[in-house]
Amino acid sequence: MDSILLLAGGIIGSGIFLTAQDIALSTRMPWLFLGVWALGMGITLLACFAFAEMGAMFPEAGGQYVYMREAYGEFVAFLYGWMIFTVSVGGTIAALGVGFAVYLGSVFPALAADRPLLALGHFTLTCGHVVAISAIAVQTLINIFGVRKGAILQNIATWLKFAAIVGFVLLGLAIGKGSWSHLSSASSISAGPQSPSLLAGIGVALIAVFWAYDGWVYITWVSGEVKDPQRNIPRALVVGLLLVGTIYLVINAVYLYGLPMGKIAKATAVAKSSALMLFSARAANWLGLVIALSCFGAMASCIMSGARVYYAMAEDGVFFKRLARVNSRWHTPVASLVLQGIWSAALALSGKYEQLFTYVMFMMVLSYVSTVAALFVLRRKMPDRERPYRCTGYPWLPALYVALGGIWALNALWARPREALAGIMIVLIGVPFYFYWRREKRAKEALSNQQSAFSP
């Protein structure tokens, strides 16, 4: 049960509160607005089946990094680790910072995220930029001065988030001033000249849906700390995802109960807008504050865990050497945390919330597709390896995920080329770094072997 709750808590972040606008604009119809959440859960579940087998095979810390290393070798595993730094963790921290700014600005108009502060050529510094960067800086400092402080804040934010979700759903359905007529076809949004086709719209909507479901892989990163991982990791992946999927469907149904599709498509902070229609302005403001705190708290786990990945890579000699140092006073990887904070702040300045999660999810889904394909490689390379859990529906279901993930990636590349290509180019920048660090590592090993040979 602890593993299931850990996975559910890791998944439910800012996405469910901030992606409805993008999904409504792409799907246009209430039944499709809800259906795309079920579709996203089903596709993600196909990946979970494959990850469950590999998680039970390699019950050790590292998760996806280990699976890729065992299947494809050190170079591909390094690119995954480089992607975690430059795209996944950095982009997620930036998106959570921007999400925090959006909800805080919806409660306090003076801090409105789109309020311009300074024009610098083609770039305009907004209040949202300042709030997001400030949040990233504060969370980074909290983690520098000790893990316990960040963990306490994360736990408080997580429980407040769960309480807000339960209260919003139960009270919204019981006493909310909504209407189920919003779920009828009459509530659909008319297609404009720039509207995508139905299939392309589903593909774009799935970017946001996959972002909201992302986080299920975190349980594999801490496999070494999970009790009885051969049994609990497969259970957590499958049961936890089904639990989160159900919660997401219910929350979006309440959004539709409170607001018609047209208003959802215009609401940046949809949970607050829906609460305003269902209850009152005071209730909506309280919910907005709780969600802002949830985004702020969610950064804690991402900042804390991400910095440890880079520390481990530096220890292996395939990342910046300085990141392997631990502060003697605070016992934290200060350089790793600072570099991560600077990069996340730069990403927060680079785009809006939907641009940031597109940038993250395009590369993450590509990594999931590569890892699910690794299952076929591992079945061939390690046929006698113990497999406490065997992938459900192998080989058809993992093959279906690889096909669907590949099609989705091509659609995302066509629909959002700027964000997708940015992710690809930034990951490729890591290639020369890998060969440099590998050469340095081999030179050190050769020197060490020479010294050992001449020592008495």
Interval 170-193: pLDDT, tens:
988 888 888 888 888 767 777 665
Most confident of 155-159, 182-186, 237-241, 365-369: 365-369
> Residue 134: its pLDDT value, please?
94
Domain that holds residue 223: 2-451
Q: Are the CB atoms for 388 and 230 separated by under 8 Å?
A: yes
Mean of the pLDDT values across residues 430-437? 90
The amino acid at residue 85 is F
**∠296-356-103 over CA atoms, to 5°?**
40
Per-residue pLDDT band at 249 (split at 50, 70, 90): very high
Sign of CA pseudo-dihedral 428, 432, 435, 436: negative
Give yes or no for a contact between 216 and 242, defined as CB atoms under 8 angstroms apart. no
If one compares 188 and 134, the residue with the highest pLDDT of the two is: 134
Length, in residues, of the chain:
456
pLDDT, tens digit (0-9, with 9 covering 90-100), for 258-300:
999 889 988 888 888 898 899 888 888 888 888 888 788 778 7
Q: Is 79's pLDDT higher than 60? A: yes
Does the pLDDT of residue 58 top 70, yes or no?
Answer: yes
Indicate whether 306 belongs to any domain. yes
Rounded CA separation 423/94 (Å): 14
Of the two residues 349 and 153, the one the predictor is more confident about is 349
CATH number of the CATH domain containing 156 = 1.20.1740.10
Model confidence at 2, in pLDDT bands (50, 70, 90)?
Answer: low
Separation between Cα atoms, residue 246 and residue 242, nearest integer Å: 6
The two tokens of residue 403 are 């096909």
Structure tokens at 252: 């979006």
Assigned domain for 39 exists: yes
**Better pLDDT: 6 or 17:** 17
Q: What is the pLDDT of residue 143?
A: 82
Q: CA-CA distance, 36 to 443, in Å (whole number)?
A: 52
pLDDT band at 195 (very low <50, low <70, confident <90, very high): low
Burial (CB count <10 Å: 0-12, 13-18, 19+), residue 113: buried
Answer yes or no: is 346 within a domain: yes
State the average pLDDT for the chain.
Answer: 84
Amino acid at 47: A
What's the rounded Cα separation, in Å, for the pair 274 and 259? 6
CB 331 within 8 A of CB 77: no
Structure-block tokens of residue 412: 């995302």
Strand partners, 125: 118
Burial of residue 39 (CB within 10 Å: 0-12, 13-18, 19+) is: middle
| Crossing angle of helices 20-27 and 198-213, rounded to 10° | 160
What are 381-393's pLDDT values in tens digits? Answer: 999 998 888 898 9
In a domain, 456, yes or no: no
- pLDDT of 453 over the 70 cut: no
pLDDT score for 346 = 92
SS3 126: strand
75 versus 194: the higher-pLDDT residue is 75
Range of 61-70, 198-207, 245-254 with top mean pLDDT: 245-254
What percent of the chain is modeled with pLDDT above 70? 88
Q: Where are the alpha helices (DSSP H) in 316-416?
A: 334-350, 353-381, 396-415
Spatial separation of the C-alpha atoms in residues 257 and 267, rounded to whole Å:
15
Structure tokens at 241: 């995802």
Residue 74 has phi, psi (to 5 degrees) of -65, -40
Model confidence at 5, in pLDDT bands (50, 70, 90)? low
Q: What is the pLDDT of residues 368-419, one digit of tens each?
A: 999 999 999 999 999 999 888 889 899 999 999 999 999 999 988 888 898 8
Confidence of residue 248 (pLDDT cuts 50, 70, 90): very high
Instruction: Report the pLDDT value the prediction gives residue 310, as an integer from 0 to 100.
Output: 76
Tokens describing residue 370: 């590569």
Average pLDDT over residues 233-252: 86
DSSP state of 86: I
Distance CA 120, CA 114 (A): 15
Structure tokens at 51: 């990850």
Assigned domain for 83 exists: yes
Mean pLDDT of 93-100: 89
Looking at residues 59-70, what average pLDDT do you find? 79
| pLDDT at residue 42, as a whole number | 93
Residue 342 resides in a domain: yes
- What is the pTM for the complete model shown? 0.82
Angle at which helices 334-350 and 127-144 pack, to 10 degrees? 170
Number of domains in the chain: 1
3-state secondary structure (DSSP) of residue 268? coil
Distance, CA of 32 to CA of 354 (rounded, Å): 20
For 47, 260, 365, the CA distances from 40, given in Å and listed in that order, are 11, 22, 12
Q: Which residue has the tokens 């050790």?
A: 60
Residue 87 lies in a domain: yes
CB atoms near residue 123 (< 10 Å):
11
How far does Cα 55 stand from its chain's mean position?
19
- Please name the residue that has the structure tokens 């409170």: 258
Average pLDDT over residues 119-142: 89
